[in-house]
Structure 1
Amino acid sequence: MKHFIFITIFFFSLSIFSQNKEYELIVPGLKNPWGFTFLPDNSMLISEKDGRLIHFKNGKKTQVTNLPKIYVRGQGGFMDVEIHPNYKENGWIYFTFASSEGSGSGGNTTLMRAKLKDNELINKEILYKAYPNTTRGQHFGSRITFDAKNHVYFSIGDRGNRDVNPQDITRDCGKIYRLNDDGSIPKDNPFVNNKNAKKAIYSYGHRNPQGMEMNPFTNEIWAHEHGPKGGDEINIIQKGENYGWPKVSYGINYSGTKFTDKTSAPGMKSPIHYWTPSIAPSGMAFINSDKYGKWKGNLLVGSLKFQYVSRCILKGNKVFKEVKLLKDIGRVRSIEQGLDGFIYIGVENLGIVRLLPQ
């Protein structure tokens, strides 16, 4: 009888453990899965920051060949990867990486598109290269997303030059850019008629945006960005707007000193949400499927610093409440909703996991 009770309790405990499991590991053995995307056959393209592109199919990882030369330094390397909304028809893959192309030492963020054939990149085209090159190792950005009209958006951080780049529309960096899908400048971009401006700029005054998605419920572009010590932000990106960095911020210098007393100012957009202390946000996805019940419509944001996923419950355009998921899983770098409606999360030194409904 005692043995029966012990066995019953043992299997009941296993059942409880199974029910509480939050995730399952889908792609193991990744170092820094900076970005990933799903191809129509449900295979995955995964960018490793150290300069590799991996095609994961049928449980096997194959390295894609004929990549561009990638400048790996500090926070820079091979960064985001995204497919065109009409990938089935045109086959275009878009990715951002740090490149040393052009004059000057160091590198800067670049947007390229290419096609995939037999695990080799072909038809490579550079659509945008930020200048000047610099050996600074911080704030490369860089997420990619598309809007409902197939414009491609991508972010570039201020590259550690906060007092020059973000507020100057004649300079790259500290911006979110918008291009037509072929790399040409949309005629209705906000600064096309400004003689000296960078015509691809869509918004400015950003520090280091490492999360960006089109909200599938409103078609707005949402982005989050790293603050300094405190002041990470979520913003809704609007045409031609100034998001304030470093004139306004909820953060302070890493040393503890202040660089501004202002958290808002006329002509500068305020965030819809901010974190103090900083969570170091990376990766972003809206839950747009029925797989997670009442979680549909929530926004997921990864935390590098505290190693969890924040489930942001929204009321309109405000974060009403946050719930921590996958606590202590590791540094969360990237988040995507798969073709199957499940949420997938890239975790440094772990791999890509599937979030299980609770």
Structure 2
Amino acid sequence: MPVLHNRISNEALRERMLAETEPRTTISFYKYFTIADPKATRDALWQTLTALDVFGRIYLAHEGINAQISVPQSKFEAFRAALYAFDPALDGLRLNIALDDDGKSFWVLRMKVRDRIVADGIEDPNFDASNVGDYLKAAEVNAMLDDPDAVFIDMRNHYEYEVGHFENALEIPADTFREQLPKAVEMMQDHKDKKIVMYCTGGIRCEKASAWMRHNGFNKVWHIEGGIIEYARRAREQGLPVRFIGKNFVFDERMGERISDDVISHCHQCGAPCDSHTNCKNDGCHLLFIQCPRCAEKFNGCCSELCAEESVLPEEEQRRRRAGRENGNKIFNKSRGRLNTKLGIPDPE
């Protein structure tokens, strides 16, 4: 039986990736389709992709697949052929190719089986995730942005919206996708006559959100094909104005793709214009926040003076301080409230 997981340390794997000389292409894709045995599918696909030196993060569930990966450029065509041949449902699947890519987005392949490929909290047995809104291509997106009867709804988290979004897009004030779904329905109850356009990073969240809106009685619902990534790529290829402002947050080592030159957010420590996310270097925190180069130097890559002081203590003392202390989401903290509390910023009324 072949080994179906990694046995090398993260540090060694990362160093190996950084030493690679061949460029890699970063890709994201998803598909809602029925997978009868996600575990067996995971194991078979792991072997296929490992043979092609694919790195990244892939989730599988009975409802489908969600992936963010990197592929050596010389093996891209072989990867695409293998993926399309793996299951008839994946044949011809759209692959979202990263826009601002240094090829260093991932250093290991991790594949997990989950209950859902996107945690949505939906328990209604009558919900049909395939009854989605209509797709919008790049030119249609721009036309809809100029339509006074259209409302663009951003189905991403606050820290994503903060650094970039479509012009006049509505932010849903919730920390998670499962909280956003009912909130979006609630906020649009008095606007059922409006054209609703939903979008997200690569399409997976807004596609399900469009189906949820239709399930709740909204008939004029669209979502952007391939999300922000595909929209920006197609708009540039077709010589269209790119109407997304700022940076598109991505869930890998890059933490962002530059879409426009506009910097619409600010350093969370000094308020200077900045849209570079980082995780606090204190192992007892790892809060995700925006930090300018000046503050990164001042606070040694940490979110506060307390974390800066703690980060340079002996490891044993750091562990002693962390013992029993609540340490939330260590990678991508979604809570604006926790961010404000940590940085001493009052919550808006």
Please give the TM-score of this superposition, normalised by the length of structure 2. Answer: 0.27
Relative to its length, the structure with more helix (as a share) is 2
- The structure that is strand-richer by fraction is 1
